[in-house]
């Protein structure tokens, strides 16, 4: 008998009607003779409401109490789902993470699942029951409630799928899958039927909101097939899976773009060995993530221009850190907050030469200027002026036959 | 060092401002060098909101899931209180009942606390910390969350006071103590400074809303001194305590009245041994509580009139059960839904003869007709027409020098 883990996100269980709908979806799997384990997030809005209250209580709310507070959200949704399933005549019960237990390591609000004792869950599944497990949370070695960060319910589902040896893990969310590019940016965007972990990792890191990179990484490490589907519509979703021998026929799987990049250029930096390190060390210390970097070859061997990108929200802090950095001398700092990174992603590019050339040619044909370039094995990113993003996506989508 | 248990009810922690106020009260005890353990109810309204949602999910919501659902209320309030105390620089942490654990026996939603492991709590108290414990809930021997019925937080506080050997248990609520009679019924009602368990038991059973009888019983059995106080005002409350050698100087401690009694008279019942049992057995089976009973002496040895009182809400069911009872024959059933029970309570009456006479004389002086009488060692109750309740309370309050 097939075993599936079904994970429902916050909007999927956002109100009483949605919970009833979700229980119909679950009953459909039961009718199809599946063993079903459910993982649920908190009802959408519930967690944010609790966070708001905690801020009124203290601007520096105790981390452990914060986790205790917000974890009530999943307890509520899971009790309601199990209550509804029983109402429908489907044997079910909720499991709080401490009842299983789901053991975690690491700091409060950023814990990671280390071990899950699935004995009780497996027994209940064997008896035909549907366990409903709280996502997003666990306990630490002090028996206190921990949470595993936003979107942590995906991680719970993936780790449970691993430990109960499920055949599939289906992530129900408010979008119906992963698209070749953001449909709001380009109307010809197509849903991807199958995407490989590494591609999905790049997509997630580069702005696709469907899944967090850490969850994709978990799935990859544990070789769990993930189906991303909409709980609002019935059409098929996107399968996220491992690279099989039969290669993808497509070179490029998807195109992503970012909205919150900023470009900084330090002009006329006095060039000497280790100058880049001197610039980036204070940024790193302040948790500012430097993404793309390009250093011009110095014309006279004395001075160089260094360009790099950061998140827009880090801009002011970065400017301040550079200005008070006494280890560097330079002529001026220039910056551009109207830039975006456009990336093409696909494992196919490993075996297909000339992709970079095709990308640059396509962009040039639309007179789109490339500001910075960065590449990895399965991804090429270019920084362009934000006004060119839509045009860039459109021309690349056509160039790589995604339309 | 003195150890106190402070219990806060739902209205006392009803919003962010109230929680801040409660934490000021707690800090006051800490400044006075007390060891403090806090028990909290859910924020007022929170539990009712959850109950409403559960009814929308199922009109027959699973009992175990119901307990899991509503227990989130205390988890929220306790995390917020502990968060606030830490904000104020007072070392504190929340304990969910499963973390302690608070072990319970009995059915879901009506469990009773059987054992509390206070080792961790005691250690934390010794370190100067303030444990904040969820009231109203525990776990059963299947490791599932149970609740101990409405007002169950009082029971949690009393049992914790017992197990940690606290010197006092202070119940903070929205009234500032126990009154000689309901102040809404009689403006000269006075706050009682000290009341004995047995008196409080009678008061609670007879309609005083301050504490549930089961909680008073718990306190009595474990000899826990209880102080009932308002978290909204600073004046002293009422001490509920055991009978010491120094007797009360007052004969009567308080007067209570009910609002939801109904009187039923079965006229012309064929009298035979065991007839009362035949009438009451089906009522008992249907969980209908018969309160006062009076049977007229049959005039001719053949027929009798039987009068008894029940809760108004049980009226229709009772009427139906009597009508379909084939073991009895009678002429007719008459009933009166406009009756109330007025009771005087006081351990002093054990040693003071003539109280019944003084009560009846006082009522007669105001031409108040007594419909039924029932007495216990420390209580005399009379059933009167509901229109006479206020008058009866006033004349009795004066008669027994409570004004």
Answer yes or no: is pLDDT of A248 > 70: no
Min Cα distance A61 → chain B (Å) is: 6
Count CB pairs under 8 A between chains A and B.
109
Return the top range by mean pLDDT from A271-285, A312-326, B25-39.
Answer: B25-39
In contact, B186 and B242? CB cutoff 8 Å: no
From B16, B76, B82, residue closest to A62, measured CB to CB = B82
pLDDT recorded at residue A259: 83
Tell if the CB–CB gap between A80 and B53 is shorter than 8 Å: yes
Query: Which residues, 6 or more positions from A13, have their beta carbon under 8 angstroms from its beta carbon?
Result: A19, A22, A40, A41, A42, A43, A44, A77, A80, A81
In this structure, how many other beta carbons lie within 10 angstroms of the beta carbon of residue B81? 25
Answer yes or no: is pLDDT of A4 > 90: yes
Report the share of chain B in percent with pLDDT over 90: 61
Query: What digits encode the pLDDT tens for the residues B277-294?
Result: 889 989 988 888 888 888
Residues of B in contact with A86 (CB under 8 A): 58, 62, 65
In this structure, how many other beta carbons lie within 10 angstroms of the beta carbon of residue B300? 7
Query: Which residues, 6 or more positions from B47, have their beta carbon under 8 angstroms from its beta carbon?
Result: B10, B70, B73
pLDDT recorded at residue A119: 96
Q: Predicted confidence band at B93 (pLDDT cuts at 50, 70, 90)?
A: very high
Least confident of A116-120, A174-178, B31-35, B346-350: B346-350
Burial B347-358 (b: 16+ CB within 10 A, else e): bbbeeeeebeeb
Answer yes or no: is pLDDT of A301 > 80: no
> Mean pLDDT throughout A181-203?
89
Answer yes or no: is pLDDT of B160 > 80: yes
Answer yes or no: is pLDDT of A247 > 60: no
Report the share of chain A in percent with pLDDT over 70: 96
Q: How far apart are CA A85 and CA A93, in angstroms?
A: 9
Tell if the CB–CB gap between A53 and B98 is shorter than 8 Å: no
Min Cα distance B145 → chain A (Å) is: 10
pLDDT recorded at residue B244: 66
Query: What digits encode the pLDDT tens for the residues A138-152?
Result: 999 999 999 997 668
Query: What digits encode the pLDDT tens for the residues B190-239?
Result: 999 999 998 898 887 776 678 888 888 889 999 999 999 998 877 889 99
Query: What digits encode the pLDDT tens for the residues B110-121?
Result: 899 999 999 999
Among chain B residues, the shortest Cα distance to A132 is held by B65
Least confident of A316-320, A351-355, B161-165, B195-199: A351-355
pLDDT recorded at residue B378: 86
> Mean pLDDT throughout A301-327?
88
Tell if the CB–CB gap between A16 and B80 is shorter than 8 Å: no
pLDDT recorded at residue B26: 97
- Which CATH code for domain B3-174? 3.40.1160.10
In this structure, how many other beta carbons lie within 10 angstroms of the beta carbon of residue A370? 16
Min Cα distance B150 → chain A (Å) is: 19
Report the share of chain A in percent with pLDDT over 90: 61
From A58, A65, A75, residue closest to B94, measured CB to CB = A65
CA distances (Å), origin A391, targets A311, A394, B216: 22, 5, 76
From A76, A84, A143, residue closest to B72, measured CB to CB = A76
Interface probe, candidates B21, B58, B83, chain A, greatest A C-beta count within 10 A: B83
Tell if the CB–CB gap between B16 and A58 is shorter than 8 Å: no
From A60, A65, A93, residue closest to B82, measured CB to CB = A65
Among the listed residues A289, A328, A339, A287, the one whose alpha carbon sits nearest the alpha carbon of residue A311: A289
Among chain A residues, the shortest Cα distance to B101 is held by A143
Tell if the CB–CB gap between A57 and B72 is shorter than 8 Å: no
Q: Predicted confidence band at B64 (pLDDT cuts at 50, 70, 90)?
A: very high
pLDDT recorded at residue A65: 98
CA distances (Å), origin A249, targets A152, A252, A351, A381: 33, 9, 11, 22
Tell if the CB–CB gap between A65 and B93 is shorter than 8 Å: yes
> Mean pLDDT throughout B70-86?
98
The token duo for A14 is: 């956002």
Among the listed residues B161, B22, B135, B125, the one whose alpha carbon sits nearest the alpha carbon of residue B83: B22
Question: Helices (H) and strands (E) in chain B — how many of each?
Answer: 12, 19
Least confident of A10-19, A349-358, B56-65: A349-358
Among chain B residues, the shortest Cα distance to A134 is held by B68
Query: What digits encode the pLDDT tens for the residues A114-137?
Result: 999 999 999 999 999 999 999 999
Q: How far apart are CA B191 and CA B171, in angstroms?
A: 16
Interface probe, candidates A42, A79, A130, chain B, greatest B C-beta count within 10 A: A79
Answer yes or no: is pLDDT of A246 > 60: no
> Mean pLDDT throughout B47-72?
96
Among chain A residues, the shortest Cα distance to B86 is held by A62
Q: Predicted confidence band at A1 (pLDDT cuts at 50, 70, 90)?
A: confident
Class of domain B257-399: alpha beta
Q: Predicted confidence band at B298 (pLDDT cuts at 50, 70, 90)?
A: low
Answer yes or no: is pLDDT of B50 > 60: yes
Domain borders along chain A are 3-174, 257-399
Q: Quote ipTM for the complex.
A: 0.80
Min Cα distance B63 → chain A (Å) is: 9
- CA A51, A54, A60, A64: dihedral to nearest 10 degrees? -80
Min Cα distance B42 → chain A (Å) is: 12
Is the whole model's pTM more than 0.95, yes or no?
no
Residues of A in contact with B64 (CB under 8 A): 93
Return the top range by mean pLDDT from A18-32, A220-234, A235-249.
Answer: A18-32
Among the listed residues B246, B164, B217, B169, the one whose alpha carbon sits nearest the alpha carbon of residue B5: B169
pLDDT recorded at residue A244: 66
For residue B208, count CB atoms less than 10 angstroms from its CB and return exposed for 0-12, middle for 13-18, buried for 19 or more.
buried
pLDDT recorded at residue B149: 75
Min Cα distance B53 → chain A (Å) is: 7
From B16, B62, B87, residue closest to A60, measured CB to CB = B87
Answer yes or no: is pLDDT of B245 > 70: no
Tell if the CB–CB gap between B69 and A56 is shorter than 8 Å: no
Q: What is the mean pLDDT of chain A?
A: 90
Query: What digits encode the pLDDT tens for the residues B354-373?
Result: 888 899 999 999 999 998 88
From B57, B79, B99, residue closest to A143, measured CB to CB = B99
pLDDT recorded at residue A234: 76
From A57, A83, A99, residue closest to B83, measured CB to CB = A57
Tell if the CB–CB gap between B61 and A87 is shorter than 8 Å: yes
pLDDT recorded at residue A197: 92
Q: Which residues of B touch A (CB under 8 A)?
A: 16, 19-20, 50, 53-54, 56-58, 60-62, 64-66, 68-69, 71-72, 75-76, 78-80, 82-84, 86-87, 93-94, 96, 98-99, 143-145
| Angle, helices A72-87/B72-87, rounded to nearest 10 degrees | 180
In contact, B156 and B148? CB cutoff 8 Å: yes
Tell if the CB–CB gap between B83 and A62 is shorter than 8 Å: yes
**Matching residue, tokens 């009773």:** B112
> Mean pLDDT throughout A190-199?
91
From A56, A69, A94, residue closest to B16, measured CB to CB = A56
Answer yes or no: is pLDDT of B297 > 80: no
């Amino acid at each position: 008998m097939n075993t599936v883990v079904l994970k429902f996100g916050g909007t999927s269980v956002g109100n009483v009607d949605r919970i009833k709908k979700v229980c119909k979806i679950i009953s459909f799997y039961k009718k199809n003779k599946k063993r079903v384990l459910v993982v649920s997030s908190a009802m959408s809005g519930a967690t944010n409401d609790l966070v708001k209250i905690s801020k009124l209580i203290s601007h520096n709310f105790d981390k452990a109490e914060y986790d205790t507070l917000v974890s009530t959200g999943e307890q509520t949704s899971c009790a309601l789902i199990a209550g509804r399933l029983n109402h429908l005549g489907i044997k079910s019960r909720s499991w709080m993470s401490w009842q299983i237990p789901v053991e975690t390591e690491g700091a409060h609000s950023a814990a990671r699942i280390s071990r899950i004792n699935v004995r009780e869950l497996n027994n209940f599944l064997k008896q035909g029951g549907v366990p409903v497990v709280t996502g997003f949370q666990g306990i630490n070695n002090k028996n206190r409630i921990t949470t595993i960060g936003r979107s942590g319910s995906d991680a719970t589902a993936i780790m449970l799928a691993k430990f109960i040896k499920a055949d599939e893990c289906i992530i129900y969310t408010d979008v119906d899958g992963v698209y070749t590019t953001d449909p709001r940016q380009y109307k010809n965007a197509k849903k991807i039927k199958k995407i490989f972990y590494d591609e999905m990792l790049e997509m997630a890191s580069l702005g696709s909101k469907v899944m967090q990179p850490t969850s994709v990484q978990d799935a990859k490490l544990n070789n769990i097939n993930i189906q991303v589907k909409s709980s609002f519509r019935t059409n098929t979703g996107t399968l996220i899976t491992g690279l099989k021998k039969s290669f993808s026929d497509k070179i490029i799987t998807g195109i992503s773009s970012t909205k919150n990049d900023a470009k900084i250029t330090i002009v006329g930096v006095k060039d000497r060995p280790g100058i880049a390190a001197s610039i980036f060390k204070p940024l790193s210390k302040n948790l500012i993530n430097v993404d793309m970097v390009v250093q011009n070859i110095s014309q006279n061997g004395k001075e160089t221009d260094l360009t790099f990108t950061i998140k827009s929200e880090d801009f002011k802090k970065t400017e301040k850190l550079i200005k008070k950095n006494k280890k560097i001398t330079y002529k001026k700092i220039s910056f551009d907050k109207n830039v975006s990174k456009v990336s093409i992603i696909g494992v196919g590019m490993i075996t297909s030469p000339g992709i970079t050339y095709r990308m640059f040619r396509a962009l040039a044909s639309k007179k789109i200027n490339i500001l910075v370039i960065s590449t990895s094995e399965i991804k090429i990113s270019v920084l362009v002026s934000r006004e060119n993003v839509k045009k860039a996506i459109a021309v690349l989508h056509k160039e790589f036959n995604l339309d």
